[in-house]
Chains A and B, each alone.
Chain A
Amino acid sequence: MFGIYLRPSWFGACFTQYALFFSLSFQIHGDFVLIRGDTVSNMSLTQALQEHKDRRKKDANAIMTMVVKQSKPSPITQQSRLGTDELFMAINPVTKQLLYYEDKAEYSKGFISLDKTLIADNPSVILHNDKQDCYIDICSQEVLSLFTDNFDYQHLRRHFVKGLLVDDIMGYKIFTHEIHSSYAARIDNFRSYDTISKDIIQRWTYPFVPDVLCGSSAIKVERQGTYRASDVTLSRSAQLGSFIFIGQGTKIGNDTKISHSVIGERCTIGSNVTIEGSYIWNNVTIEDGCQLRNAIVCDGVILKSGAVLQPGVILSFKVVVGQQFVVPAYSKVSLLQQPTQQDSDEELEYADSTSGTGELRSDKLNGDIAPDLSETASELGTGGVGYIWKVFEGAYDEEWRHSVAPIPTDKLVKLMLDRDEDEELLTQDGNVISASGELKTDSDGNGSEDDDNEDSRDDYVSFEKEVEATFLRAVHENVKVDLAVLEVNALRLSYNMASVDCGGAIFYSMMKLAVESPHNSASELHRNAADIVTTWQKLLKSFLHDIDEEIEVILKFEEMCLESAKDFAALFPQILHLLYDKEILQEDAILRWADEKEGADESDKVFLKRSEKFIQWLREAEEEEEEDE
């Protein structure tokens, strides 16, 4: 069964994505298509769905199919024509399995690192920089349960997709479906709004084009991509350029020039107005002599005569711009006060993304705020109403990236020069490294590895502490094993640890608890340990999936015996035996540990020697078994 659920885009706040999935998981049975409400697409899902179903039949782990589309980012700005940041994906060309996903790439990092196992497992991997994520996903039910399990997943791409690609325990796979001729794109910033609007006018999204959508004869397509509603009042001297849309009931005055723009319904546009590349919504009044370039003007806005909108201006609902006032480039103007800095991102997103929320707010707030407005009206010239939102420091430089206005050429040239410098630096770095010839791998590699190691060690220490605290709480508050597993799992994900680390950390906490519980003799300590292990074996076992992880536990134990919990040193073989009896460690793990240690230094073999008897016994048992067979 397929259910199609639309996800409203203003669910933008991260938490809600999880909540949404959580609530959905009670309603959906079977596969479903996940698509964002802000996606414009004319693709047929049939083929993608069929592919997904076929794949599911062969491989139950293929739980998701992502739709991607060819779109090469600009070599200068490194962003796609939709204004989204570049995206790096690695895809297996034969199976189309997605192996790597990196959006929000760190610009400063000059390279991508692919895991060596990824390359070892796939003889051929294609690394894409020229694909665009359409945000249309076909998901199986496991996706929902994964969201239930991993409640720290908040963002579908950043957490869920990446988490799935990194996690190799469950073996879930994500596949891609590339569309070639059909259209799919998502509006999540002003540039994509502009790009997609143009695509619609140029009919790439057919059958979703204005004349078809509006029904029979209301809107006609004319030469040069001009859409005109039937009852537009147009002055004879008005000049209409190519690719424009004019909605019903709109009046346009003398000598007005319009090109590459959309003008909504019931607008009044005066004489000698110039409108280029702008989006004017419904019920907008533009008086004589105004100039608009690459602006978005929402419902009910009034531009008094002679007002000028520089490129990239956004005017929110019912804003009034005073006479002769020049609204500076990239400003955003609203009736609402600018929100405080903390939640600004979120608020901005609300204001940006849909008309729905914006309208609600302005309607609701209109009455209350009105008196307030007159005081600050000077901000938009005489008779103007609204606040110009200030751009925060730092963000200003980036403003042009997502603006509705095209990127100015001087920016492009500057960027190119910057890139050259960057490149020079980078190549120089490369030279410095390589100039040392043989040494290069050593010096360079060591340097970075040390850093990495230190980082990860720090991480690990704090992770271990967290696990220990969780475990102690579980012990003292009698938390159920299942819940403890879930909590440790959450910790694992938030610290980005492997399940090997979890096993080690849990074992460490257990043994530490045993040591810290009161005991007078070695045998009491042994009993303590045995009790704890018996009670919590399920917890430990759930993080020991294979032999390597079990060996890790033994190594951890060794380390403890040497450092933090010397009391155990004498009990080493007994505890080992205990873990074996409880089926926490398989004999393979113990034997392999013994084999590995065989070659080690004498000092390292202390515990191996102590447990020699036990290992001997294991080996004999194994041989007997073999003989039996």
Chain B
Amino acid sequence: MDFQVVVLAGGNSKNLTPLVSKELPKPLLPVANCPVLYYVLHQLEQSNLKDLIVVVEGEDAALLVGAWISGTFIDRLHVEIAAVPEDIGTAGALRAISHHLTAKDILVVSGDLVSDVPPGALAATHRRHDAAVTTMLCSIPVSGPSESGSSGGKDKAKKLGRYNIIGLDPSKQFLLHIATEIEKDARISKRILHAVGQMEMRSDLMDAHMYAFKRSVLQEVLDVKDTFQSLKEDVLPYLVRSQLKSEALLNRTPQGEENGNEKVSSQNNQAFISRILANASTPSFHGIYSKNPDGSSSTRKTHKCCVYIASSSSYCVRLNSIQAFMDINRDVTGDADHLLSPNNIIGPSPKLGTKTTVGPNCRLGEGSEMGDKCQVKRSIIGRHCRIGSHVKVVNSVVMNHVTIGDGCIIQGSVICSNVQLQERVELKDCQVGAGFVVTAGSEYKAESLAKKEK
């Protein structure tokens, strides 16, 4: 397939402090003991999309990510690592690597997407419609701990976060409207509505940050609109807005058509007008708009903005907040465990003390040791952790090389690598940054603990 894949593996994300750090850039954040980037690359490999550019913000992060990829996917994927400056936005990142893009179509995937939707399906949709841009939409994930359903009716009012307002045509193939500002009233272009007749406005779909672009269109837009920062907020809405009056394709007039036009124009004129008068149904709304008043189709250009809607049963979540991190960890070990190929995850069986129980939906990394009478439920424990006796770990994520003293109780928390928890520490809904030491007997609730800035 003539597709080039760009994986936008952004560097540090403010929403994820203290989980990410210089030593652990966001793409390498472990989800069920496996860097989050793995999930994207794995899916791409499954779809036979093997020509990749991974864009990382910052040189240091790029080195780390590069090292990991070459270690893991050697001989399986053809990966180039590109480092771009920080905070230039998704469009900026693409602009920076624009000269590397050579294929006819470009697939852009966010590096923090954990999904079982095959990227190949998106690419196929894109090709089928010969679209300028195709975006993947998925149902909005239900966030929050799953058992909170019992907490009663009050939360129901805010059950789902609203992410996008999306307008689709009746066949649900074309994207007609997209708005990210859900707090404002939606303003829908009448011209597009005229062309298509009816538009379905959906607020229960989310832009999954996986796009297929026609390379020529993408490069043109990035060149001309040099202030565009974000793919989602600038480039995509721009393409959707201008789909009936495309400028991106204006200078690529197909040859050959022009000569014939002169002769047939009067004839076309009649045919076209009569078709409008007869109110004949046209195969596609783009068709009628791509015609000139004189019937020729060479100068008026339209481009198509398509969507691929993932089926509601598929799994598709972006790791962009701590809540999402917890949710994904829970789901990947639970409902969506098909995302992981088993051999990658379960290391050599760890050493467990007597009367220690490990419940279902848990992962234990290789070389971790646990003392006596421990309980682990719905949790993930990384490699080479040392866990003392009488420790309880519930709904939590423990990364690598963590030392947990006797009698600790950890609930709903994230413990980053190299953390030391001394005896009888109680943590509930906390995040502990890498290398932090929690003193014996302390209790924390819903706090974020991290080392002071170096």
Question: B-contacting residues of A (Cβ < 8 Å)?
Answer: 72-76, 78, 81, 86, 88, 90, 93, 105, 109-116, 119-120, 122-131, 406-407, 409, 412-413, 416-417, 420, 423-424, 426-427, 430, 434-438, 441, 445
Contact = CB atoms under 8 A, between A and B. Distances in A.
Interface of B, secondary structure class, is mixed
B188 A111 contact: yes
A522 B228 CA distance: 61
A74 B184 contact: no
A123 B202 contact: yes
Interface string B166-191: 01000000000000011111111111
A114 B186 contact: yes
A195 to B, nearest CB: 11
Contacts of A86: 194
A48 B58 CA distance: 64
B182 A416 contact: no
B234 A427 contact: no
B183 A116 contact: yes
Contacts of A119: 165, 182, 186, 201, 203
Given A130-B198, A406-B277, A120 B190 contact: no
Given A119-B203, A123-B204, A125-B201, A111 B227 contact: no
Contacts of A426: 191
Contacts of B237: 434
B238 interface: yes
Contacts of A406: 277
Contacts of A75: 194-195, 276, 288-289
A310 B345 CA distance: 84
A407 B274 CA distance: 11
B193 interface: yes
Contacts, number: 131
B185 A116 contact: yes
A434 B238 contact: yes
Nearest to A122: B203
A546 B165 CA distance: 29
- A110, A114, A129, A417 — which one has the most chain B CB atoms within 10 A of its CB? A129
18 contacts: A72-B279, A81-B279, A109-B190, A110-B191, A114-B185, A114-B186, A114-B201, A120-B162, A125-B202, A420-B300, A423-B191, A426-B191, A427-B241, A427-B242, A430-B241, A434-B237, A434-B241, A435-B227
Given A437-B227, A438-B229, A112 B187 contact: yes
A427 B250 CA distance: 14
A546 to B, nearest CB: 14
Contacts of A126: 198-201
Given A110-B191, A435-B227, 8 more contacts: A112-B188, A128-B197, A129-B190, A129-B196, A129-B199, A416-B293, A430-B242, A438-B227
B241 A127 contact: no
A151 to B, nearest CB: 30
B245 interface: yes
B162 to A, nearest CB: 6
Nearest to B282: A75
B124 interface: no
Contacts of A436: 227
Contacts of B228: 434, 437
B271 interface: no
Interface of A, secondary structure class, is mixed
Contacts of A124: 200-204
Contacts of B445: none
Contact of B200 (A73, A127, A427): A127
A110 B189 contact: yes
A123 B241 contact: no
Contacts of B451: none
B160 to A, nearest CB: 8
Nearest to B197: A130
A127 B198 contact: yes
A545 to B, nearest CB: 18
B276 A127 contact: no
A435 B225 contact: yes
A127 B167 contact: yes
A532 B224 CA distance: 66
A430 B195 CA distance: 18
Given A119-B165, A441-B181, A74 B198 contact: no
Contacts of B244: 423
B245 A423 contact: yes
B273 interface: yes
A88 B234 CA distance: 28
The list of the 6 closest CB pairs from A to B, nearest first, reads: A437-B227, A130-B197, A123-B204, A125-B201, A111-B187, A416-B293
A556 to B, nearest CB: 25
Contacts of B293: 413, 416-417, 420
A603 to B, nearest CB: 28
Contact of B201 (A81, A90, A441): A90
A123 B160 CA distance: 10
Contacts of A427: 241-242, 245, 247
Contacts of A113: 185-188
Contacts of B181: 441
Given A74-B279, A412-B276, A105 B201 contact: no
Given A124-B204, A127-B167, A412 B188 contact: no
Contacts of A123: 202-204
B277 A129 contact: no
Interface in B188-220: 188-191, 193-204
A562 to B, nearest CB: 29
B267 to A, nearest CB: 14
A409 B266 CA distance: 12
Given A75-B288, A125-B200, A412 B194 contact: no
A119 B184 CA distance: 10
A7 B67 CA distance: 80
Contact of A127 (B162, B195, B199, B242): B199
Given A74-B279, A434-B234, A437-B227, A129 B193 contact: yes
Nearest to A86: B194
Given A114-B201, A115-B185, A406-B277, A73 B190 contact: no
A246 to B, nearest CB: 26
- A90, A112, A122, A131 — which one has the most chain B CB atoms within 10 A of its CB? A112
Given A75-B276, A124-B202, A129 B197 contact: yes
Contacts of A116: 182-186
